[in-house]
Structure 1
């Protein structure tokens, strides 16, 4: 079980790091997934979650960096700390750390919640 979880975590992180984050929905999410950012309302279902992610990525004008900083694994849960640096159409350039907490059933995610600060990068 642990070996499968480690392999699944590595697989999804590679897909994300190669710029194919939206493709993860087809492979790694259950139809009834629940997603949430910070304390915002839950988004229920793969369809609505995918629409929200498509909207997010369509507004990125430059994606400069993404790096997995750490991974913690438990039986049906994984926690991944990311560093991200990007610019969006309506926001300033952003550099920040994000933590994603995922509950899983086999290799698919049933619940995912993101925690992050509001760090904004201002070049000097």
Structure 2
């Protein structure tokens, strides 16, 4: 499967509410995720916990719009621009999370992912 197809599958999982299934399949045990503020989170266990905390803070998922997906098949790099609309628990209403995520792959799994984004209520 091409990197383009793999990253598309991940975002299909997000849209369908099964993001953690994609996380388990596509992320390496030693993955490093770099958050919007530059914080690095190392390891699948730490990132699984962080992802679960995010999803448990969401009261309602309104959807995700994929604005663009690209892949450099030779270098194993993908990037996705998206907007996810969610309502967080205790919030007054929905919020748009605009994000660009860049993934570096080794074989079948993501080893590094970096996020760039903004939040608009």
* Fold shared per TM-score above 0.5: yes
Of 63-72 and 42-51, deviating more is: 63-72
Distance 1:6 1:114 in 2: 18
Distance 2:116 2:24 in 1: 23
> The residue matched to 2:17 in structure 1 has which SS?
coil
Displacement of 1:39 in angstroms is 2.1
* 1:87 alignment counterpart: 87
* 1:54 alignment counterpart: 52
Q: Which runs of 5+ in 1 are unaligned?
A: none
Of 44-53 and 33-42, deviating more is: 33-42
Distance 1:9 1:86 in 2: 21
- Count of aligned pairs between the two proteins: 118
Displacement of 1:118 in angstroms is 2.8
What value does the CA root-mean-square deviation take over the aligned residues? Answer: 1.5
Displacement of 1:86 in angstroms is 0.5
Q: Which runs of 5+ in 2 are unaligned?
A: none
Distance 1:91 1:42 in 2: 27
Runs of 4+ with deviation above 2 angstroms? 90-93
1:18-29 alignment, distance < 5 Å: 18-29=16-27
TM-score, scaled to structure 1: 0.87
Displacement of 1:46 in angstroms is 0.2
* 2:43 alignment counterpart: 45
